[in-house]
Amino acid sequence: MSSSDRMGRGAARIVAVMCVAGLAGCTVEPLYGSSARLETASVEPGAARLTSVSVAPVDTREAQQVRNHLIFMFNGGAGQPADARYRLGFDLTKRDLRVLDVQLSDGSNDLDPTAGTVELRADYVLTDMQTGEKVATGTRSAMASYDRPRQFYSAWRGEKDAADRAARELAEFMRLAVAQDLKRAGP
């Protein structure tokens, strides 16, 4: 056994010990502050009251997706509250916009769409169920782009996936708006 082999092994051991020591400092807690402070800071008055919001039934596929995402985000997957204090109703409108058209190479004057955008817009009303008064009203919208190839199914599926992405984004925007509205409304 040569001395260079022993030095290589020794250096490898030192590097391994330094890596383990470096990883020993890794935790899932905040670097500055305690986890107790983080827990109390994350529960704000508006966010805590989101669990007392029920979402009104809707009639379209996209509106149902927004509703499902809202219910999940308001209650952490627990479903609708049995004794909700607030009711959130919304009307959803969907627009499919052609973003980019290209002239076909066959010499015709027809334009072939190659990209599109789905826009979902929700006009919402937050109502206090105990008093029947409107707590807040507002409008939020979300857009998602997609490719529109010439194949019918691919274009249809792309539009549907874009509508799904826009529904998730719109639900997040509405959750933030409702949390702000509840915080402004006070206790």
If you average pLDDT over residues 1-26, what whole number do you get? 68
Residue 117 has pLDDT above 50, yes or no: yes
Higher pLDDT, 84 or 139: 139
* pLDDT computed for residue 40 by the predictor: 39
| CA proximity to 139, closest of 169, 179, 163, 170 | 170
User: Which two structure tokens, joined as six digits, stand for 164?
Assistant: 């799904």
Quick: pLDDT tens for 58-111: 999 999 999 999 999 998 888 888 888 999 999 999 998 876 666 566 666 566
User: pTM higher than 0.75 for the full model?
Assistant: no
Distance between CA atoms of 50 and 70, rounded to whole angstroms? 10
